Amino acid sequence: MAFDGTSVWVANQFSDTVTKLRPSDGARVGTFAVGKRPLGIAFDGSSIWVTDNRSNDVARLRAEDGEPLGTFPVGEAPAGIVFDGVNLWVTNRGSGDVTRLRASDGALLGTVAVGANPSGIAFDGANVWVANSGSNEVTKLRAGDGANLGTFPVGDGPDGVAFDGVNVWVANFFGKSVMKLRPSDGVVIGTFAVDDGAAGLAVAGPHLWVANSGTDRVTELRILDGRVVERFRVGKTPAAVAFDGTHIWVPNSGSNTVSKRQAVGPA
């Protein structure tokens, strides 16, 4: 799921499409065909990029109208995707690596080996962070050239990754927790309990939102100290979270719905 500044985009993994929603009322603006089993979505300022997990490529759509702009091969079983301001980075679960594509034309710039089953990915302004769900660690890559700057242990089954402007956060799917890491050296600053199946993460102002697929809830945490602000019931099997500047959006893969909630809360 991603927000492009105007619309919310949702990957429909079992229908091989993405849906564009109007944030004001959730109305469907359009649904567009992509590759097989779409999972991750990123916005580069003009285009939407979608990882196609079963066809081992990424699809590029014009954000304005969903017009297809190309399909580009990556590694095996691509999952997460992030834009660093110039290039796209794609995690390939099946091949244990990350692919770097030039956003202007989709050209392959390189492939970097990381840990086992890389899933979530985030950019901190200088580096790319990859959650390796099969090896319980995160890898830090220099965005400029893909150099491996270190691998750091986290919890059980790391999935989502997010950057809050100061720290990196990792959701541990099987560990029922999120971890806060110092970007300079990967040191774990804190570990905070959440619900089962911690997956996607999103930062919204002073709070971090966590999709808990095992309990059909999202957890809202205070970034300052990791304190749980509130837990909210959503649809079945929430997998990700996106923030549109005002509201939190959650795709519920088990009920084929999305949930929308006001993000404003106490600091």
Cα–Cα distance, 69 to 40 (Å, whole number): 17
Write the pLDDT tens digit of every residue in 236-256.
999 999 999 999 999 999 999
Q: Supply the pTM of this predicted model.
A: 0.97
pLDDT digits (tens, 9 = 90+) for 85-110: 999 999 999 999 999 999 999 999 99
Is residue 215 within 8 A of residue 195, CB to CB? The reply is: yes
Q: What average pLDDT does range 33-43 have in this prediction?
A: 99
E strand or H helix at 73: strand 68-73
pLDDT-based confidence at residue 67 (cuts at 50, 70, 90): very high
Taken in order of first residue, the domains within the chain and their CATH numbers are: 1-113 (2.130.10.10), 157-266 (2.130.10.10)
Average pLDDT, the chain: 98
What was the pLDDT predicted at 35?
98
- Read off the pLDDT of residues 136-152 as tens digits, 9 standing for 90 and up: 999 999 999 999 999 99
Residue 266 has pLDDT above 60, yes or no: no
Bridge partners of 150, per DSSP, are 140
Task: Check residue 155 and give its pLDDT.
Answer: 98
Measured between alpha carbons, how far is 231 from 224 in angstroms, rounded to an integer? 17
Retrieve residue 230's tokens. 């509130």
